Amino acid sequence: MSDATRHGVVLVEDDVRMRRRIASAVETEPRLMLRCAVGSLAEGRAALEREKPDVLLIDLGLPDGDGVDLIRAARHAWHDLRILVISVFGDERTVFRAVQAGADGYLLKDGSPEGIAGAIVELIDGGYPLSAPVARYLLRFVQSGVDAHTATDGPGAGQRVDEHPLTEREIEVLKLFARGFNTGEIADLLGLSPHTVIALGRNIHRKLDVRSRAEAVYEAVALGLIRMPE
Amino acid sequence: MRRRWSFWRALAVSSVLAFAGCGPPPEAHVLRTADFRFVPAPNAIGSAELPQPPSGAERRSPVTLPHRWSAQLQGSAGTGWYRVALPQTDATGTPNAMFLPRVSSNAVVYLDGEWLGDGGSFGEAVARNWNRPLYFPIAPGRFAGTDRTHTVEVGVQGMGSLHDGLGPILFGPDRALRAYHVRALALQIGVAQVATLLSAVAALLFGALWAGLRREPVYGAFALAAACFCVNSLNYHVQTPPMSYWRFEWLVNVALEWFCACFVSLVLRLLALRRPRLERAAWLYAAGVSAVGLALPGPAFDRVAPWFHLVSMAIAASCLLAIVMHRDRLSRPELVAYVITGCVMLPVMAGDLATQIGVLPSTSLRLFPLVGAVMFVGFGAALMLRFLGTYRLAQQQNLELEARVAQKRAELEEDFRRLRVLERERAVGDERERITREMHDGLGGHLIATLALAEGNDERIAEALRDALDEMRVVIHSLDPWIDDVPGLLVATRARLEPRLASRGLRLRWAIGDLPPMRLGPSTSLQVLRVVQEAITNVLKHAAARTIQVRTATGHDGRRILVEIRDDGKGFDQNFASGYGLSNMRERARRLGGELEIEPGPTGTAVRLWLPTEPTDSV
């Protein structure tokens, strides 16, 4: 496989051993090519400018700042960039904060090298349409009927919207993602091809405008506007 | 209905009886003829001396009593002398009396040339006796002489007003006339005094009410009307006014016009009608009459005043008509009070007016004060009802307002409480986030770095490090405010453990169904996470299984949910089953208010955790 068809990866991780571990995981995957592995926000920003990669792997706790800032800037500058947050715990708060800024998903730090590489490839293939935590909150939003866009500001704050743009099938898929099923399992359960599930996931993503909604949902949950449907 | 009729009939009969009793006693002689001579004295007022009867030689003309001057002597002030021969009486040994039912304005009586009595001052201001019956007892000794004929000279002081003159002269036994006098005094003077008193009280009462309730001008109008009426009613009983005769006449006449203007205002406000022009016209009329009264000489004004009163009366009558026309704007008791009052008042006013201008005999009883009293009682009662209604309404509104305030306060307190809870949750959340971040960036990073070192060198250390990391993640997931239900916990568990299951070649069968909503607190979350973690870890370490299934279900009664971890391995490790691990899991389930079931078997084991859907966060 030539360099041209391989997907460029920039890694920003301050812990040297961890950086090495993830770097080697990336290098084991022939479809990926590690362009640059750096340890600070400033270097990461420079590397993004220089390398224009396809994938950004980034730790949030960096010595010179919060990785979320770089995610936000990168998302703004390069719409097609795939961004994965490197997380120790995969806790939903961290993941949601990252998604809010524009990340596509997360990697667990102690994942096996194959696991890490696999997750990246899956993301590139569009197989990472919805992480379970994100799906959970989108579902809450859809079921509560509160339009998260108007939940926190504007004259129609907190008003109910009985219409949401999702089809029955999409809601079904969203529910399954929210319960932790992966793409393959959902495909099996619904008797669909994995590609269809991925496409449905992408639709949900697009229709609910996940990234711009993430912040509103986050705020709405924090304000107690969105609760579990009862 | 019948009872009401019988009440009205009784009232009518008793009032007829009361007036029937007004006739003179049969024992008395009613003297209706006299020889009259007028001594003009246009400027005589000011002399406090009693007028003396003229000497006997002058010419006199015979007149019939009651005698009014107005016909011949319009506007002339002076003294009219009436000489009357007393009928012969045998009862000279017993007390006799003379009674003058009508005199205007004052009189002095001489019997056989000797002073018998008088009605008060003849100077400025002349005693006003026009509505006051005068009574003069004659001691038995006065007729002691041998002469059987006796003459009476009655000197009447007139001011040139409309009702100057003399009514009939009654002569008879003192016993009968005294009783008659007392009754007449009560009817003419007593009633008027009561009317004055009542209207004064009404004026003060409603004036005070108005002072307190400025937004209710109806009370003010009533208070003013009462005050005007009070002044007017003085006309009927005040003998010596504290001002000049004509000033006082002006005052009482004008008071009636102002009363009518107030009455118009009152009725308009009662009916909530806005007729500012009509109201202004009524006030201007009263003011105009007052000005005319000031400009004209007293006697002249006295002559035209009845016609002004007639106009006012017409205005009052139209007001009553307006009340009837807009009856739907009044409560029933109010309407009844106004209509009855009006029906009584108007004819009486007309009758009094007719008496004043000479259409009816001057001896007719003046009923206006009596009617005024009735009116003030009627209107006052109606207004009191209205006030009570308003008061009750206000009280009710007050209660409603208080209730609303209490409700708002409760809402505010509830909001405040919620805010405090939210604030506290946020503070706790922030603290948890800080700790989580510290663990994430610090301890977590170190553990992972160490794990990277151990991997490939010492698998046992690596395993221990993975356990430690798992443990940390369990705690962190339990603290995560975003993970607050069972599916959330399972999703987190899957994300956490799947890499390890995959690395062991264990297939995960995920069967998480729809669960009833239930929110879990951090400590409940931690217990659930530990039970699930322990069950899965046990499979990982001991069961030698190929597949592990995580399944959820809702109990038949919907009151509890099931989390099942089933494997296809060789069964439970005996040490675990009998030892600390299992009893530890059972204990956790118990603390969650749930139950743990183990179903061991040669082809696999199922660990079932039942949880109540009602949140219990007592752990």
Compute CA distances B299 → B74, B167, B250, B296, whole Å: 9, 20, 10, 8
Structure confidence at residue A164 (pLDDT): 63
Chain B interface includes A3 (CB < 8 A): no
Chain B interface includes A96 (CB < 8 A): yes
Nearest CA in chain B to A107: B495
Q: What is the pLDDT of residues B300-353, one digit of tens each?
A: 888 888 888 888 888 888 888 888 888 888 878 778 877 887 788 778 888 888
Nearest-Cα distance to chain A for B541, in Å, is: 19
Structure confidence at residue B479 (pLDDT): 80
Residue A10 has pLDDT above 90, yes or no: yes
Chain A interface includes B441 (CB < 8 A): yes
**Can you tell me the mean pLDDT for A44-49?**
90
Chain B interface includes A228 (CB < 8 A): yes
Structure confidence at residue B14 (pLDDT): 54
Which among B436, B510, B514 is the nearest to A91, CB-wise? B436
Structure tokens at A227: 């609760």
Pairing between β-strand B106-111 and β-strand A32-38 as defined by DSSP bridges: unpaired
- Using the Cα atoms of residue B238, residue B241, residue B244 and residue B248 in order, give the sign of their dihedral: negative
DSSP 8-state secondary structure symbol assigned to residue B275: -
Higher pLDDT, B543 or B299: B299
Q: B566-580 burial, b for 16+ CB within 10 Å, e for fewer? A: bbbbebbbeebbeee
Of A148-162, B134-148, B455-469, where does mean pLDDT reach its minimum? A148-162
Answer for the pair A93, B482: CB distance below 8 angstroms, yes or no.
Answer: yes
How many pairs of residues across A and B have Cβ atoms under 8 Å apart?
116
Q: What is the ipTM of this complex?
A: 0.74
Chain A interface includes B454 (CB < 8 A): no
Structure confidence at residue B121 (pLDDT): 82
Question: Which residues in chain A are contacts of B485 at CB distance < 8 A?
Answer: 228
Structure confidence at residue B112 (pLDDT): 84
> For all residues of chain B together, what is the average pLDDT?
82
Chain B interface includes A94 (CB < 8 A): yes
Residue B408 has pLDDT above 90, yes or no: yes
Contact yes or no for B469 and A110 at CB 8 A:
yes
Which among B436, B439, B448 is the nearest to A110, CB-wise? B448
Question: Which residues in chain B are contacts of A182 at CB distance < 8 A?
Answer: 510
Optimal mutation site among A13, A179, A189, A228, interface B, most CBs of chain B within 10 A: A179
Over pLDDT 70: what percentage of chain B? 90
Residue B113 has pLDDT above 50, yes or no: yes
Optimal mutation site among A20, A21, A85, A91, interface B, most CBs of chain B within 10 A: A91
Chain B interface includes A88 (CB < 8 A): yes
Residue A108 has pLDDT above 60, yes or no: yes
Structure confidence at residue B164 (pLDDT): 84
Residue B245 has pLDDT above 80, yes or no: yes
Structure confidence at residue A159 (pLDDT): 43
Q: Which residues are CB-contacts of B442 (< 8 A; sequence separation ≥ 6)?
A: none
Residue B254 has pLDDT above 70, yes or no: yes
- What gap in Å lies between CA B588 and CA B526, rounded to an integer? 10
Structure confidence at residue B404 (pLDDT): 93
Structure confidence at residue B241 (pLDDT): 87
Contact yes or no for A88 and B512 at CB 8 A:
no
Chain A interface includes B514 (CB < 8 A): yes
- What gap in Å lies between CA B210 and CA B262, rounded to an integer? 14
- What gap in Å lies between CA B532 and CA B594, rounded to an integer? 14
- What gap in Å lies between CA B453 and CA A17, rounded to an integer? 8
- What gap in Å lies between CA B175 and CA B452, rounded to an integer? 140
Contact yes or no for B480 and A228 at CB 8 A:
no
Residue B1 has pLDDT above 70, yes or no: no
Question: Which residues in chain A are contacts of B512 at CB distance < 8 A?
Answer: 179-181
Contact yes or no for A112 and B448 at CB 8 A:
no
Over pLDDT 90: what percentage of chain A? 8
Contact yes or no for A93 and B436 at CB 8 A:
yes
Of B66-75, B146-155, B186-195, B486-495, where does mean pLDDT reach its minimum? B66-75
Contact yes or no for A133 and B481 at CB 8 A:
no
List all residues of chain A from 149 to 188 with a beta carbon under 8 Å from chain B: 175, 178-182, 185
3-state secondary structure of B454: helix
Question: Which residues in chain B are contacts of A92 at CB distance < 8 A?
Answer: 480, 482-483, 488, 492
Of A14-23, B145-154, B193-202, where does mean pLDDT reach its minimum? B145-154
Question: Which residues in chain B are contacts of A108 at CB distance < 8 A?
Answer: 495-496, 499
Of A19-23, A24-28, B83-87, B354-358, where does mean pLDDT reach its minimum? B354-358
Contact yes or no for B440 and A89 at CB 8 A:
yes
Q: What is the pLDDT of residues B576-601, one digit of tens each?
A: 555 557 788 888 888 888 888 888 77
3-state secondary structure of B78: strand
Q: Which band of pLDDT confidence, cut at 50, 70 and 90, is reported for residue B288?
A: very high
Contact yes or no for A93 and B480 at CB 8 A:
yes
- What gap in Å lies between CA A45 and CA A58, rounded to an integer? 11
Answer for the pair A96, A222: CB distance below 8 angstroms, yes or no.
Answer: no
Structure confidence at residue B402 (pLDDT): 93
Chain B interface includes A65 (CB < 8 A): no
Q: Which band of pLDDT confidence, cut at 50, 70 and 90, is reported for residue B289?
A: very high
Give the CA dihedral B568, B571, B573, B578, nearest 10 degrees: 130
Chain A interface includes B526 (CB < 8 A): no
Residue B299 has pLDDT above 50, yes or no: yes
Higher pLDDT, A18 or A189: A189
Higher pLDDT, B503 or B399: B399
Higher pLDDT, B148 or B617: B148
Answer for the pair B317, B264: CB distance below 8 angstroms, yes or no.
Answer: no
Please give the model's pTM, rounded to 2 decimal places: 0.54
Q: What is the pLDDT of residues B18-31, one digit of tens each?
A: 554 557 788 888 88
Structure confidence at residue B146 (pLDDT): 63
Question: Which residues in chain A are contacts of B448 at CB distance < 8 A?
Answer: 15, 18, 88, 109-110
**Can you tell me the mean pLDDT for B262-285?**
87
Residue A146 has pLDDT above 60, yes or no: no
3-state secondary structure of B548: strand
Q: What is the pLDDT of residues B145-188, one digit of tens each?
A: 666 778 888 998 888 887 788 888 988 888 888 888 898 888 88
Contact yes or no for A133 and B477 at CB 8 A:
no
Contact yes or no for A91 and B512 at CB 8 A:
no
Structure confidence at residue B543 (pLDDT): 67
**Can you tell me the mean pLDDT for B610-614?**
84
Question: Which residues in chain B are contacts of A229 at CB distance < 8 A?
Answer: 517
Of A151-165, B112-126, B559-573, where does mean pLDDT reach its minimum? A151-165
Residue A158 has pLDDT above 50, yes or no: no
- What gap in Å lies between CA B532 and CA B543, rounded to an integer? 15
Chain A interface includes B434 (CB < 8 A): no
Residue B5 has pLDDT above 60, yes or no: no
Amino acid identity, position A71? I
